[in-house]
A and B are shown apart, each in its own frame.
Chain A
Amino acid sequence: MTETAGRVLPIYVVADESKSMTPVVHELNAGLSSLHDALLREPMAAAKVRFSVLGFSDDVVVHLALADLRAEESLPQLSTRGGTSYGVAFSLLLDRLPADVRTLKAEGFAVHRPAVFFLSDGQPTDPGQWEEPHRRLTDRDATAAAPNIIACGIGEARAETILKVATRPEFAFVATPGVEVGLAIAEFCAALTKSVIASGQAVGGDTAELVVERPENFRMALDVV
């Protein structure tokens, strides 16, 4: 009998590998490493995740693709080179996400909407060019597997840019000026770990209205549960 393989969440860490990241790239590597450790301590959470790591600069390098982290000895090390082209990262995701979802479905999995964790320390060096692939990537009519993008800006990255990258305002994080960049990266990785492990459902919904007034027929069943 064919049997469902379960449900998986594809997660993409898309990290800035531009030259300016050089002083902090080891912090990012350490953060990813502790994420790996945390997942290995929660095997049933790890079972639900397929993990990809992409590093972008003037080009984009796939360091890890759809990995089951229970089977990985360690995570790849990010390094630095060149500029900060957001466009190459979003173009690659635009190719890769639908193909990855097909691959997982062919393996028998039901697939959660992918999550992209985007981290940059600078303004894009391809202004006017990254917006179109980003728009197509996040348009759920154009890309059925359009991801939720959680964006984190550190260093020179501006809040308005990070807000444009994130798919919801509450998914945008910008390090407060003056906060040590290494600390901001550690917080980013902690948030990533928490969301990977919790994989909780979002509260709310667009087609439902909040009850804001006491209905006339209301009676409290019991004061204390």
Chain B
Amino acid sequence: MERIEFKNVVPQVFAHRGQHDSDIWQQEVCFERGRLYLVEADSGKGKSTFCSYVVGYRNDYTGTISFDSRDARELKVSDWVSLRQRHISCLFQELRLFPELTALENVEIKNKLTGHKTRREIEEWFDMLGISDKLHAKAGLMSFGQQQRVALIRSLVQPFDFLLADEPISHLDDTNSRIMGDIMMQEARRQGAGVIVTSIGKHIDLNYERTLRL
């Protein structure tokens, strides 16, 4: 997939607002593969809504979202499944980890779908992010910051054309944020993928090619 386009998209909950002072809502925006975007917004501007639309979790909007000029509303269940498995990876703000599985199992449950990474590569990332001692700890017993790192690794163990990172570093210190940014960008570049990072202020220090305000 080469591009994700937003045309006149307005979330139904914002429909009553009239004019939108936004770079995305009610605009024509195109996210291209291989490029790095930052979507900035204050709380309540629809940042998570934006991510939900892209991964097909919600479709309560007017306007058109299209993937390579294919309307998202026309996608079938199987299309969305293949999109989530191979084209768009998402690091959810609420992480969506399984608390009863261990950190490693949380990553494996995703990796098993595509067999994208080896066990060694995964363990290497755990090591780089400083949570190798937590491999076999239940995710539910880890701190939010640690869980954020596990969720990042999970989002990278699949082929993708776009990586959507919804507030990836909200609970991380600067060192870990930097390591996280490095790993993320390294994998994205290796796959030639586009990256869309959202933030409410604190954001990973990267060379964003375009910054959009919601």
A-B interaction: no
A residues in contact (CB < 8 Å) with B: none
